[in-house]
């Protein structure tokens, strides 16, 4: 059996090696390392793929969130509501910009922002909501957008984990996650569903004026070279990374389908076991399984991960410490929060390997080992 890894970017590369190598070589030949043609080609292709009117490439998914918040002219002290149960980047940029992170609960079935908790957290100082499409499942965008409209709030979708995911509205229309809110952001970190061979990110919007501003902020606040109208930053997608991403974007649906196949295998083997809960998929959401995360109902998580590790099966905890318990926010003197669902999930989630290169032999072995541990 091939060794099992959480992600296997190497094997994926070998399947597309010729195309990737030639894309990289053409960048080397052109010597257009910064803002070369592949960057514009990629932005255009990604707009076509997602349906977003405007796509602004940038250096990584964290910058994408930061630039989004900068473009909305939020003022120090303004409140930004995010789930506590997310990767740190989502909330770190809020604090970095001297805004106030307000942590809310997630739905224990979808791991995404709970609209009731969101509604309860809104104050006159609230300016923006940042839902996260965690693990590749969409946050309940229709409800979130309704609440945003009611209270006149911006919505920034953190779509780093769900590129390619479809959201279905109650009238049947579909949109890609990341294109529903005021702004959407994503990451091309190598292990993401659309991964580069280094860092990368992008920002989406359907608002032309906002697109213009986002683009300027990502480029030192300038439109005309050396004439700086806004305080911005330097956040670019490398031409080399764009060249890689152009090759991989064409395969994104195929890659997401491969992840779904892995998840279906896991579900079939593990569903119904009383010790665990397999991932739930809400009727409005598709799932692109950035992670395949199970919830332990009673089983010992350390024991399970140690048992798997003994069998050379990696597993991960995303995330062991929720935002509201991170030391980095202690200086903000945030109110003590009682986020019981988040605290409970933090102690009970475990993610199994999921990527585009897994075979049945590996999946059979993993599920057997999980079941051996659970049923002993």
Ligand X SMILES: *Cc1c(COP(=O)(O)O)cnc(C)c1O
Q: Which is nearer to ligand X, 160 or 349 (CB)?
A: 160
Whether omega for the bond prior to residue 97 falls within 30 degrees of 0, making it cis, is no
- Judged by CB under 6 A, the stretch of 40-48, 156-164, 245-253, 281-289 that binds ligand X is 156-164
Nearest distance in Å: CB 191, ligand X:
8
In this complex, which beta carbon is closest to ligand X, that of residue 38 or of residue 195?
Answer: 195
| Cβ-based nearer residue to ligand X, 86 or 369 | 86
For ligand X, the nearest residue by Cβ is: 61
* Residue 236 or 307 with smaller CB distance to ligand X: 236
Q: Does 61 bind ligand X (CB under 6 A)?
A: yes
Closest CA to 79 of 341, 332, 340, 346: 332
Among positions 55, 60, 193, 246, the unique one binding ligand X when judged by CB under 6 A: 60
Work out how close the CB of 102 gets to ligand X at its nearest, in angstroms, rounded to a whole number: 17
* 185-214 binders of ligand X (CB under 6 A): 187, 189, 199, 201
Nearer to ligand X, 196 or 374 (CB): 196
Shortest distance (Å) from residue 106 CB to ligand X: 12
CB of 109 to ligand X, least distance (A): 18
Stretch that binds ligand X, among 15-23, 155-163, 238-246, 321-329 (CB under 6 A): 155-163
Site for ligand X in 87-146 (CB under 6 A): 87, 89-90, 132
| Residue 241 sits in the site that holds ligand X (CB under 6 A) | no
* Binding segment (CB under 6 A) for ligand X, from list 7-15, 82-90, 115-123, 208-216: 82-90
Binding site for ligand X (CB under 6 A): 60-62, 86-87, 89-90, 132, 158, 160-161, 187, 189, 199, 201
């Amino acid at each position: 059996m091939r060794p099992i890894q959480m992600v296997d970017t190497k094997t994926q590369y070998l399947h597309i090696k010729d195309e990737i190598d030639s894309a990289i070589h053409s960048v080397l030949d052109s010597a257009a390392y910064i803002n070369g043609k592949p960057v514009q080609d990629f932005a255009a292709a990604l707009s076509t793929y997602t349906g977003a009117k405007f796509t602004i490439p940038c250096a990584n998914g964290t910058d994408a969130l930061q630039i989004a918040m900068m473009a909305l002219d939020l003022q120090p002290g303004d409140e930004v509501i995010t789930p506590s149960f997310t990767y740190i980047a989502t909330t770190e940029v809020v604090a970095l910009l001297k805004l106030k992170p307000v942590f809310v609960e997630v739905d224990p079935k979808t791991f995404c922002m709970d609209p009731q908790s969101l509604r309860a957290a809104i104050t006159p100082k609230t300016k923006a909501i940042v839902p996260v499409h965690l693990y590749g499942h969409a946050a309940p965008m229709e409800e979130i957008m309704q609440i945003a409209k009611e209270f006149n709030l911006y919505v920034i979708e953190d779509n780093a984990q769900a590129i390619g995911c479809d959201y279905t509205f109650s009238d049947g229309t579909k949109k890609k996650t990341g294109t529903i809110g005021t702004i959407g952001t994503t990451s091309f970190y190598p292990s993401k569903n659309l991964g580069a061979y280094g860092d990368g990110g992008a920002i989406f919007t359907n608002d032309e004026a906002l697109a213009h501003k986002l683009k300027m902020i990502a480029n030192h606040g300038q439109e005309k070279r050396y004439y700086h109208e806004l305080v911005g930053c330097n956040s670019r997608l490398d031409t080399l990374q764009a060249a890689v991403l152009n090759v991989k974007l064409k395969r994104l649906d195929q890659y997401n389908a491969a992840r779904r196949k892995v998840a279906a295998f896991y579900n079939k083997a593990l569903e119904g076991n009383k010790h665990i809960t397999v991932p739930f998929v809400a009727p409005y959401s598709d799932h692109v399984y950035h992670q395949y995360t199970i919830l332990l109902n009673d089983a010992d998580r350390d024991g399970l991960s140690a048992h798997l590790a003994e069998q050379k099966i990696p597993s991960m905890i995303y995330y062991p410490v929720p935002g509201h318990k991170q030391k980095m926010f202690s200086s903000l003197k945030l109110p003590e929060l009682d986020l019981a669902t988040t605290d409970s999930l933090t102690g009970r989630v475990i993610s199994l390997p999921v990527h585009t290169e897994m075979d049945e032999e590996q999946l059979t072995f993993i599920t057997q080992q999980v079941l051996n541990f659970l049923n002993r």
